Amino acid sequence: MQKLTNKEEEIMHILWKLEKAFVKEVMAEITEDQPHYNTLSTIVRNLEEKGYVAHNAFGNTHQYYPIVSIEDYRKRFMTTAIDNYFNSSYKNMVSFFAKEEKISAAELREILAMIENPKAEK
């Protein structure tokens, strides 16, 4: 999987949400820094070249849909982030969020319960 730019990642989140969309539908979902239609079309085609999306042709227009799931992308993104920013240590990552007060003790206990009993349902 090739790395995505911030704008490409933003577009992918829109496509994951919509599941299938024409460029004009993607454009309607962008609330800040809306690119020109042709620029957005180029970004979507780049996503297709990178293997993230495919399309169905309807005459001269294309409806795009993701072929990489958000779960697969999340795994790759998180693995890369943990490798690059936390020395490949999940412990370092969790302790970072604990120090930043982004995760509570109760949430940590929930995570520990999931680790200790992975088959238990909520």
Q: How many CB atoms lie within 10 A of CB 71?
A: 9
d(CA 5, CA 122): 36
pLDDT digits (tens, 9 = 90+) for 24-71: 999 999 988 899 999 999 999 999 999 999 999 999 999 999 999 999
pTM of the model as a whole: 0.78
The pLDDT value recorded for residue 3 is 84
pLDDT over 60 (residue 122): no
d(CA 81, CA 87): 9
d(CA 28, CA 58): 20
- Assign 118 a pLDDT band (cuts: 50, 70, 90): confident
The pLDDT value recorded for residue 117 is 87
pLDDT over 60 (residue 4): yes
